[in-house]
Amino acid sequence: MSRRISGFTPSGSLHLGNYVGAIRPIIAQQSTTDTVVFVSDLHALTVEHDPAQVRRRTLEFATLLLAAGADPDSCLFLVQSQVPEHAELHYLLECATGYGEAQRMIQFKEKAGRQEHVRMSLLTYPILMAADILLYDTDEVPVGEDQRQHVELARDVATRFNSRYGPTFTVPRAVNPPVAARIMDLTSPGDKMSKSTSGDAGALRLLDSPYVLRRKVMRAVTDDRAEVRYDPALQPGVANLLTVLAACTEGDPAQLAPAFARYGELKTAVADAVIATLGPVRERYLELAAAPDHVRKVLLRGSMQAREQAGRKVAQVKEALGLLAA
Ligand code: TYM
């Protein structure tokens, strides 16, 4: 059976882009495919962070993933830091990755360019992500477009390791959803919708109330062409609204366009579709959030299960690299 994995870093708040780009795709096949869903809390330490907030968000993300349908009886459901083999394999893979390879990562260049004090872990973070993926012999990684380059790195590292030290890793590939791989910010449609708290009006958060979701959609930036067409280059705001509608209704953005004569009609349809998609997730979250100890227990159980598999993989890698057996 093929295996799929997806992770979510508890920085900022989960939004519609995360949902349609990765959460929904990974959960959709959990009963027919070996699936690993995890909160990548170690990744949240790569930039300046507030410890209490990371802990709170780790629980919030896990609760949201459960609310979105992750079923711990059908998939491996865990927190990265509770499975120390992630960090252990990270180091071992650093020994099989070039400095130049890590430095080329677009996300590193973008994030490092915005900061004065760049943490070493920001540079090596894609190698930790490769460890996350390779630890479980993953075939497919459902992610948004922004993570594709990191999955390519995992592919390169796996291929090189296998040819240098003998067959050890499954070589993974990224899978992007057909229309939702890059949902853009509603107020600045040239940028991707992002988890960071700045620019809150541009992101449709999974925990926003229906009222807030509608208000954000109705205020989304369009243009003065007064024509609903799917043209991401000329009409990025309108194209993004059509993409959001298509992602929520599993349609096609270009085919949906002719149904709308005015921007107001399009926005109303988008707001309805977003509320129908995210409303039930938020309601379920509010129920589950009342029992945080239950979520903590579910995570611990999943992490313990994961350690059995992960431990075997790390032992195999150590052996291949020439380390003494424990
Ligand atoms: P993160 O937490 O930034 O994002 C989680 C997932 O959401 C996708 N995504 C989007 N998709 C569509 N439109 C958007 N605007 C948008 N924004 C984000 C991301 O591509 C991602 O799939 N490093 C990863 C987490 C991670 C991981 C892994 C993923 C760690 N290890 C192993 C897969 C496999 C991250 O920070 O994603």
**148 CA to middle of ligand 1, Å?**
9
Q: Say whether pLDDT at 210 is over 80.
A: yes
Q: Say whether pLDDT at 71 is over 90.
A: yes
For 290-300, write each residue's pLDDT tens digit.
Answer: 999 999 999 99
DSSP annotation string for 207-249:
TS-HHHHHHHHHT----SS------TTT-HHHHHHHHHHHHHH
Q: Say whether pLDDT at 198 is over 90.
A: no
Confirm whether 195 is a catalytic residue.
yes
For 269-316, write each residue's pLDDT tens digit.
Answer: 999 999 999 999 999 999 999 999 999 999 999 999 999 999 999 999
pTM for the structure as a whole: 0.96
The mean pLDDT value for 157-165 works out to: 98
Confirm whether 111 is a catalytic residue.
yes
* pLDDT score recorded for residue 197: 63
Give the rounded percent of residues in the chain with a pLDDT score beyond 70: 99
Q: Say whether pLDDT at 199 is over 70.
A: no
Q: Cβ(16) to ligand 1 under 6 A?
A: no
Residue of 109, 195, 313, 318 with catalytic role: 195
**Which residue among 18, 61, 83 is best mutated to probe the pocket of ligand 1, counting the most ligand atoms within 8 A of its Cβ?**
18
Complete domains list, the chain, with CATH: 3-180+291-321 (3.40.50.620), 200-287 (1.10.240.10)
Which residue type is seen at 303? S
* 3-state SS, residue 298: helix
Residue nearest to atom 31 of ligand 1 (CA): 129
Give the pairing type, strands 34-39 and 3-8: parallel
* pLDDT score recorded for residue 111: 86
* pLDDT score recorded for residue 116: 84
The mean pLDDT value for 16-41 works out to: 97
The mean pLDDT value for 161-170 works out to: 98
* pLDDT score recorded for residue 178: 85
Whether the CB-CB separation of 271 and 213 falls below 8 Å is answered with yes
CA gap 190, 213 in Å, rounded: 20
**306 CA to middle of ligand 1, Å?**
21
Question: Quick one: residue 225, left, alpha or beta (phi over 0 = left, psi -120 to 50 = alpha)?
Answer: alpha
Confidence of residue 238 (pLDDT cuts 50, 70, 90): very high
Residue nearest to atom 18 of ligand 1 (CA): 18
Give the rounded percent of residues in the chain with a pLDDT score beyond 90: 91
The angle that helices 85-94 and 120-134 make with each other, rounded to 10 degrees, is: 110
Q: Say whether pLDDT at 149 is over 80.
A: yes
For 87-138, write each residue's pLDDT tens digit.
Answer: 999 999 999 999 999 888 888 888 888 888 899 999 999 999 999 999 999 9
Mean pLDDT score of the chain: 95
- Assign 3-class secondary structure to 1-20: CCEEEEEECCCCCCEHHHHH
Q: Cβ(183) to ligand 1 under 6 A?
A: yes
The mean pLDDT value for 197-201 works out to: 74
